[in-house]
């Protein structure tokens, strides 16, 4: 049916003497792409957007100007009544959201270089965001935004950096999305919004990150850093963790050492610096103990001893360390110490189990000496008896 509609349109264009123009490669390409477009699949045709091109006397100009695109798309997508037939829960606030975005505000002021609907969704091959081939699928969003935001020449008039994509693909979020296949991992639109895209304000960064990192956000709000950062007009979270090139922090991130982020503001001799160094040392010590206990349990397991319960329990120590790293955002040493204390008890119990298992292994090895000596005695006795016997026989 859809194909028939396209064919009819093609014939109509031909009848109006536009056969010459239909040989234009872009139009031919548009027709080919439109077959897989969601609009085509829902029964819409070319004339649904390129209105009047099938009417006699209409001008030959079938292109839609960029300045018309948001309103054109909004003529359906902002009409709740119209969209209901395609899905009762489809959103119809895209145009309103767009008007609040940086793109929308500049567009309203006459800048048509900013992104409009078709720049992100494509023109004739629009697919739902759940389709892996869609330009708005989570795996493809960064590449879509990159087309403009990594183009230095294009972004020059706006004075915006163009290294966001390069930083993002080096980040832990990108790795989670692409390497681990976790589609809930953040991409550009997760933090900046999609239709209402804007960089989060200084005060809003915590809200953005805390959408996923809830506890870290909560602890930060309770910490002395909140007021200090607000006073210095520094955005939370990204001041320490960066905006796009977010790496998995290790324990050297904390403290006043060379690669420590706390050293940006604190020195080792002041109380805050000492607290940071204390946290660093505690984490490092905890991790060392955990690794050494794991190694002990592995040795016991390889020696055939049953340490499965202790190995299971040791995973709780990992949880305690993760908890302590989260509560570090409160900048309250007592809270961090309490979380580590729980884990230290687990490690101590697991270590005890491993040591007992290896002691049992050693006692088994010692116990075998007696039977081996008895067997050696049997060997010697038999040898002597044979010798005596054969000597007698000779």
Partner 1 sequence: MSGPEIVRQWIDERVDLREMFAPLMEKTVPRHRFSHWYLLGGVTLFLFGVQVCTGLLLLLYYRPSMNEAYESVQYITNRVAFGWLVRSVHAWSADLMIFMAFAHMFSVAFLRAYRKPRELTWMSGMVLLFLCLGFGFSGYLLPWNTLSFFATKVGTEVPGRMPVIGHATLLFMRGGEDVGAATLARFFSLHVVVLPAITASMILLHLLLVQKFGMSVPPSVEKEGPRFGSKVKFFPNYFLRDVMTWSVALMVLLVLAVTFPVELGKKADPFGSAPAGIRPEWYFLSQFQTLRLLPATILHIDGEVIGALAFGLAGALWVGLPLLEGRLGRNGSRWARISVLGALVYLASTTLYAYFTT
Residues 6 or more apart whose CB falls under 8 angstroms from that of 340 comprise 282, 283, 286, 320, 321, 324
Report if residue 386 touches partner 1, rule: CB under 8 A.
yes
Report if residue 306 touches partner 1, rule: CB under 8 A.
yes
Report if residue 385 touches partner 1, rule: CB under 8 A.
yes
The DSSP letter of residue 199 is P
Expressed in angstroms, the distance from the first to the final Cα of the chain is 112
Residues 6 or more apart whose CB falls under 8 angstroms from that of 332 comprise 223
Report if residue 42 touches partner 1, rule: CB under 8 A.
no
Looking at the Cβ atoms of 90 and 375, the one nearer to partner 1 is 375
Report if residue 372 touches partner 1, rule: CB under 8 A.
yes
Q: How far is CA 159 from CA 31, 112, 152, in A?
A: 38, 17, 9
Report if residue 302 touches partner 1, rule: CB under 8 A.
yes
Report if residue 312 touches partner 1, rule: CB under 8 A.
no
- CB 367 to partner 1: min, Å: 8
CB distance 48 to 54 below 8 Å: no
Which region, judged by CB under 8 A, interacts with partner 1, from 98-106, 194-202, 271-279, 377-385?
Answer: 377-385
Number of residues that bind partner 1 (CB under 8 A): 21
Report if residue 356 touches partner 1, rule: CB under 8 A.
no
CB distance 131 to 151 below 8 Å: no
| Distance (Å, whole) CA 389 – CA 381 | 12
CB distance 31 to 45 below 8 Å: no
CB distance 185 to 88 below 8 Å: no
- CB 368 to partner 1: min, Å: 4
Looking at the Cβ atoms of 25 and 367, the one nearer to partner 1 is 367
- Per the listing, tokens 């120590």 go with 317
| Distance (Å, whole) CA 329 – CA 290 | 22
Out of 59, 110, 304, 392, point to the residue binding partner 1 (CB under 8 A). 304
- CB 300 to partner 1: min, Å: 11
Report if residue 388 touches partner 1, rule: CB under 8 A.
no
CB distance 330 to 224 below 8 Å: no
- CB 353 to partner 1: min, Å: 13
Which region, judged by CB under 8 A, interacts with partner 1, from 41-49, 258-266, 274-282, 298-306?
Answer: 298-306
Which region, judged by CB under 8 A, interacts with partner 1, from 86-94, 154-162, 201-209, 295-303?
Answer: 295-303
- Per the listing, tokens 């018309």 go with 68
Looking at the Cβ atoms of 183 and 368, the one nearer to partner 1 is 368
Identify the CA nearest to 154 among candidates 145, 167, 142.
145
Report if residue 359 touches partner 1, rule: CB under 8 A.
no
Report if residue 375 touches partner 1, rule: CB under 8 A.
yes
Looking at the Cβ atoms of 1 and 369, the one nearer to partner 1 is 369
| Distance (Å, whole) CA 264 – CA 358 | 47
Residues 6 or more apart whose CB falls under 8 angstroms from that of 126 comprise 37, 38, 39, 134
Report if residue 75 touches partner 1, rule: CB under 8 A.
no
Residues that bind partner 1 in the complex, under the rule CB under 8 A? 301-304, 306, 364-365, 367-368, 371-372, 375-376, 378-379, 382-383, 385-386, 389-390
């Amino acid at each position: 049916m859809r194909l028939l509609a396209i064919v009819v349109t093609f014939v109509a264009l031909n009848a109006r003497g536009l056969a010459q123009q239909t040989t234009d490669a872009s139009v031919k390409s548009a027709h080919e792409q439109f077959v897989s477009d969601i609009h085509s699949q829902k029964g819409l045709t070319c004339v649904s957007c390129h209105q009047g091109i099938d009417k006699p006397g209409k001008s030959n100009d079938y292109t839609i100007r960029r300045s018309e695109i948001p309103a054109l798309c909004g003529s359906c997508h902002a009409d709740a009544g119209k969209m209901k037939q395609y899905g009762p829960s489809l959103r119809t606030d895209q145009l309103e959201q767009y008007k609040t975005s940086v793109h929308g505000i500049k567009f309203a002021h006459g800048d048509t270089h900013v992104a409009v609907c078709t720049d992100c969704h494509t023109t004739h091959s629009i697919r739902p965001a759940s389709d892996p081939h869609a330009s708005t699928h989570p795996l493809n969003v960064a590449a879509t935004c990159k087309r403009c935001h990594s183009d230095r020449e294009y972004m020059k008039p706006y004075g915006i950096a163009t290294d966001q994509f390069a930083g993002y693909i080096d980040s832990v979020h990108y790795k989670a999305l692409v390497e681990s296949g976790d589609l809930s991992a953040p991409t550009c639109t997760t933090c900046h919004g999609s239709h209402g895209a804007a960089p989060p304000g200084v005060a809003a960064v915590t809200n953005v990150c805390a959408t996923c990192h809830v506890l870290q956000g909560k602890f930060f709000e309770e910490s002395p850093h909140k007021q200090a950062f607000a006073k210095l007009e520094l955005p939370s979270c990204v001041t320490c963790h960066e905006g796009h090139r977010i790496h998995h922090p290790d324990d050297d991130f904390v403290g006043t050492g060379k690669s420590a982020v706390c050293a940006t503001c604190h020195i080792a001799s002041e109380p805050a610096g000492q607290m940071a160094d204390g946290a660093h040392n505690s984490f490092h010590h905890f991790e060392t103990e955990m690794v050494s206990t794991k190694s002990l349990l592995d040795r016991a397991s390889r020696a055939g001893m049953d340490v499965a319960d202790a190995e299971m329990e040791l995973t709780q120590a990992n949880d305690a360390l993760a908890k302590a790293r989260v509560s570090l955002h409160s900048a309250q040493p007592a809270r961090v110490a309490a979380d580590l204390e729980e884990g230290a008890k687990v490690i101590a119990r697991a270590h005890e189990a491993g040591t007992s298992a290896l002691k049992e292994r050693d006692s088994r090895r010692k116990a075998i000496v007696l039977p081996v000596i008895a067997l050696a005695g049997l060997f010697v006795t038999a040898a002597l008896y044979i010798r005596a016997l054969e000597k007698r026989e000779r």
